[in-house]
Amino acid sequence: MGSGVPPYKETGIITVEELKRLGLMPPEERLARGPVAIPECPEEIPCNICVVSCPQHAISIEGIKGLPRIDWDKCVGCGVCVAKCPGLAIFVVDLSKPGEYAYVTVPHEFLPAPKVGDVVDLLSREGKVVGKGEVVKAWETNKTWVVTVRVPKELAMEVRGIWVRK
Amino acid sequence: MPGTPPLKDRRIWEHPILTFKRGRRVKFYFNGNIVEGYEGESIAAALYAARYDVFSRSPYKGRARGAFCMIGKCSSCFAIVDGVPNTRTCVEPIREGVKVEFQEGLAEIPSATGGLEGKDEEVIEGVDVLVIGGGPAGLAAAIAAAKHGLSVLIVNEHFKLGGQLIKQTHKFFGSKDLFGGLRGFQVAEELENKVRSMRNVRVLLQATAYGFFRDGWVGVAGKDRLYRVKPRFVIAAPGAAERHLAFPGNDLPGVMGAGGAQTLMNEYGILPGDEVLVVGSGNVGVIVSYQLLQAGAKVKGIVEILPYIGAWFVHAAKIRRYGVKVYTRHTIKEVWGKDRVEGATIVRVDEHFKPVPGSETDIPCDLVLIAVGLTPDTRLLAQAGAVVTWVPELGGLVPIRTKYLETSVPGLFIAGDASGIEEATTAMIEGEIAGLSAVVRAGADDAGNAAERREALLKFLWDEYRASPVVARAKAGKLKVTVSEDEMERIRVSNPPPVRFGS
């Protein structure tokens, strides 16, 4: 407020516009081409775990505290960074499939563990249930699940969490 | 081997991150009633699990007292244990048959047969480095010093090593060589394994360094004996205590430090409450909220007096996407309940942080967590004669130090939160720097390599890690209290240290 505090610090929610402004959003044509990682990491925190985790060497950070910069051409959307990011701040979005669905990959650290075929609640950045989606892929490393859900294309930039009902 | 959980037990049996390795079942007594717990639990944790909320009553107004900090820093969990009053039940492990009694106000002074007999004394001379505190800073310091051949004695208040790392379930930021990407408790395991594998490190658990004495003696009170220690160097890493806030009802059981709740749920697998209000939206408040959701509690909201969330954005985003509400521009007005929190009233504040009448909201809950920051535990350092100064950015009184972390008491180094509040990663870096400083000063075999490594760490710490804007405030604080060797010499002239190490 006033003193230059960005709006996402007031709400805990970052907008797509803000991500674009910070250069964290892949360009439209890249999004249309296949799955790609989106780091929602706007603050220059002292961390570079994504850089060393990426099997494609597609992520770079200046020193230890720059913003993560993804080489959109090298990124294949594998989701390893989704698993490794300590801030659980990286997502993979795939808008390349024909038809009405996109695929969003999110980190997940709650019980029950998600399984392929589960129909789960789709959560927006502010925790609103914006729909239901089917889990198409789920794998785990060091207790972080990396879950890919099928979502309506118009929700691809909204869905950032899931809730598996017991 | 977990058995069937007893009715109404607060223990957590399934968790997305943690596997609780419970020891064998043991029975002990609380006011004559049999309580069952698991070996490895503290008395306070086992009582809390069995839904005992009140351990004592205050001496003056008879108000209920229960768990608050859970790490031995406050007096809230005092009870009489095997006849010894004022026992911090949070750092006292349960044992078969131990008799715990409710403490009604001030207790009678115990007689020699009340459990204090048999205190032997051991004199420990010739140890190179005494490390006070076995958390991230202390363990890193011990490892650095021992690697270079120095003998090390670690004294640790808790009956487990690892300090606050053992209750951190989130993955650490940083870089790989700083344990980045590992969860806090995993970092603790690595550090402890390393320390345990070093033959020149001795560990005293449940031991408190209680004072510095003439000629460089340090008093340590162990579980069953007193130690008189005469070390060449001392590295103090005693950590920090949680701050509290003033509001009516702030002493009710169920008002707890955020760290206290983490101890219960992540160290012992005990759910601290079902419906929780968190006060303070810094990293600790936001992380504890996420952990509460993981443990199966409901987080009713986070109250923040400022207009924005204090935590790093990525931590805040984690709780927002599971629907946790953050009440910015709000403060807690009061907590109500009889012998246990039943709810809280929060109130909006204006631009001068004054409550706006009529803007109150009542929030039913059984747990209110206070996450309004930490204050460095520098009492022992001040007693040693180290010159301390008040630095708001660092959480309170902290010792003045050189960049090598030496205080105005020669040969007495500091590291970790006691040097000013930051976080575990910087605590480990500071610990290593302090450990290496002892190595360099001792003139150990490869002191040259130690000095080189120390410079590299300093460069990384100051020029890279602390260059991040999210830690700017702590960096400003540390800059204020870091002085040159020359300046330190002047400080020593005007404040002659009562004791000296390192000769």
- Asked whether residue A146 is domain-assigned, the answer is yes
What is the residue range of A51's domain? 7-163
Flag if A45 and B314 touch (Cβ within 8 Å).
yes
Flag if A89 and B314 touch (Cβ within 8 Å).
yes
Pairing between β-strand B298-303 and β-strand B326-327 as defined by DSSP bridges: parallel
What residues of A are in contact with residue B315 (Cβ under 8 Å)?
87
Using the predicted structure, report yes or no on whether residue B114 has a pLDDT greater than 60: no
Flag if A46 and B314 touch (Cβ within 8 Å).
no
pLDDT of residue B407: 98
Per the CB < 8 A criterion, the answer to whether B334 and B249 are in contact is: yes
> What's the predicted TM-score (pTM) here?
0.96
Q: Is B267 exposed, middle or buried (0-12, 13-18, 19+ CB in 10 A)?
A: buried
Using the predicted structure, report yes or no on whether residue B274 has a pLDDT greater than 70: yes
**Whole-angstrom distance, CA of residue B266 vs CA of residue B257:** 14
Closest partner CB to B173 (pick from A45, A52, A113) = A45
CA pseudo-torsion sign B281, B287, B291, B294: positive
Per the CB < 8 A criterion, the answer to whether A82 and A107 are in contact is: yes
pLDDT of residue B5: 45
What number of C-beta contacts closer than 8 Å exist between A and B?
140
Mean pLDDT (chain A, rounded): 96
Using the predicted structure, report yes or no on whether residue A47 has a pLDDT greater than 50: yes
Q: How far is CA B102 from CA A33, A47, B98, in A?
A: 68, 47, 13
- Asked whether residue A86 is domain-assigned, the answer is yes
The side-by-side arrangement of strands in the sheet containing B129-132 is B201-204, B152-155, B129-132, B233-236, B412-414
Closest partner CB to B313 (pick from A8, A63, A163) = A8
Using the predicted structure, report yes or no on whether residue B116 has a pLDDT greater than 70: no
Flag if A48 and B180 touch (Cβ within 8 Å).
yes
pLDDT of residue B380: 97
Mean of pLDDT values over A57-67: 92
Flag if A86 and B181 touch (Cβ within 8 Å).
yes
What residues of B are in contact with residue A60 (Cβ under 8 Å)?
none
Closest partner CB to A42 (pick from B181, B313, B318) = B313
A91-123, pLDDT tens digit by residue? 999 999 999 999 999 999 999 999 999 999 999
pLDDT of residue A3: 59
Using the predicted structure, report yes or no on whether residue B118 has a pLDDT greater than 80: no
Q: In Å, how far is B20's CA from the nearest CA of chain A?
A: 14
pLDDT of residue B444: 85
CA-based max dimension of chain A:
47
* Chain B touched by A165 (CB under 8 Å): no
Using the predicted structure, report yes or no on whether residue B210 has a pLDDT greater than 50: yes
pLDDT grade for B113, boundaries at 50, 70 and 90 = low
- Asked whether residue A1 is domain-assigned, the answer is no
Mean of pLDDT values over A43-64: 95
Q: Is A4 exposed, middle or buried (0-12, 13-18, 19+ CB in 10 A)?
A: exposed
Mean of pLDDT values over B435-448: 94
**Counted domains in chain A:** 1
* Chain B touched by A44 (CB under 8 Å): yes
Mean of pLDDT values over B434-438: 98
Flag if B317 and A40 touch (Cβ within 8 Å).
yes
Percent of chain B with pLDDT over 70: 97
pLDDT of residue B1: 36
DSSP assignment of A17-73, as one string?
HHHHHTT-SPPHHHHHHS-EEEE---S--S--HHHHH-TT--EE-STTTS--EE-TT
* Chain B touched by A16 (CB under 8 Å): no
pLDDT of residue B503: 76
What residues of A are in contact with residue B308 (Cβ under 8 Å)?
1, 5, 9-10
Mean of pLDDT values over B321-341: 97
Flag if A46 and B307 touch (Cβ within 8 Å).
no
pLDDT of residue B112: 62
**Whole-angstrom distance, CA of residue B432 vs CA of residue B144:** 5
Q: Is B336 exposed, middle or buried (0-12, 13-18, 19+ CB in 10 A)?
A: middle
b/e string for B17-41 if b means 16 or more Cβ within 10 A? bbebebeeebebebeeeebebbebb
Per the CB < 8 A criterion, the answer to whether B323 and B295 are in contact is: no
Number of alpha carbons in the 13 Å side-chain half-sphere of residue A109: 27
Q: How far is CA A144 from CA A56, B290, B294, B485, in A?
A: 21, 14, 12, 47
Percent of chain B with pLDDT over 90: 93
Using the predicted structure, report yes or no on whether residue B304 has a pLDDT greater than 60: yes
A122-151, pLDDT tens digit by residue? 999 999 999 999 999 999 999 999 999 999
Mean of pLDDT values over B81-104: 95
pLDDT of residue B119: 63
Mean of pLDDT values over B52-72: 94
Residue with tokens 């070093």: B198
Using the predicted structure, report yes or no on whether residue A18 has a pLDDT greater than 90: yes
B390-419, pLDDT tens digit by residue? 999 999 999 999 999 999 999 999 999 999
**Whole-angstrom distance, CA of residue A66 vs CA of residue A50:** 12
* Chain B touched by A5 (CB under 8 Å): yes
- Asked whether residue A2 is domain-assigned, the answer is no
Q: In Å, how far is B221's CA from the nearest CA of chain A?
A: 39
Q: In Å, how far is A34's CA from the nearest CA of chain B?
A: 25
Closest partner CB to B308 (pick from A9, A14, A161) = A9
Q: In Å, how far is A25's CA from the nearest CA of chain B?
A: 16
B456-495, pLDDT tens digit by residue? 999 999 999 999 999 999 999 999 999 999 999 999 999 9
B137-189, pLDDT tens digit by residue? 999 999 999 999 999 999 999 999 999 999 999 999 998 888 999 999 999 99
**Whole-angstrom distance, CA of residue B279 vs CA of residue B269:** 22
* Chain A touched by B183 (CB under 8 Å): yes
Q: Which helix (H) or strand (E) holds A84?
A: helix A80-84
* Chain A touched by B326 (CB under 8 Å): yes
* Chain B touched by A52 (CB under 8 Å): yes
pLDDT grade for B445, boundaries at 50, 70 and 90 = confident
